[in-house]
Amino acid sequence: MFIAGLVLFTVSAICGLAGLLALGRNLTPFPKPSATTRFVRRGIYALIRHPLYTAVFCAALGWSFVWQSWPASFISLVMGIFLDAKARHEERWLREQFPDYTGYEQRVRRFIPWIY
């Protein structure tokens, strides 16, 4: 479990840093894109649509694995469900603002490359 937790921490760091670098000035704490937001499809966004959410989830699950905490694992899974719902809501706004977002959704998975 400890090793799996460390792997998840590593995945979290990679996804988080790559997402931050790819977003650059488009980074905002709000899920609704602003009028000046650009549609980013480069870097890690070519592999997954929500690398920052993936980073948060992997860090939480990694923490629960490192400490072998069932309550923390449960909370991580609940957080994953919340992040999935948040991503779906955000994607509605993105489809409205960027007409080619629908094609992007069909090509690129939400959280895990080629899987989900």
Q: Give residue 106's pLDDT.
A: 97
Are 9 and 58 spatial neighbours (Cβ–Cβ below 8 Å)?
yes
Model pLDDT for residues 20-62, shown as the tens digit of each residue = 999 999 999 898 999 999 999 999 999 999 999 999 999 999 9
Average pLDDT over residues 68-95: 97
Are 8 and 59 spatial neighbours (Cβ–Cβ below 8 Å)?
yes
Our measurement of the distance from residue 3's CA atom to the centroid of its chain's CA atoms, rounded to an integer in Å, reads: 22
Average pLDDT over residues 71-95: 97
Confidence band (pLDDT; 50, 70, 90) for 76? Answer: very high
Residue 112: what residue type? I
Cα–Cα distance, 22 to 56 (Å, whole number):
17
Are 4 and 64 spatial neighbours (Cβ–Cβ below 8 Å)?
no
**Token digits of residue 109:** 């998975």
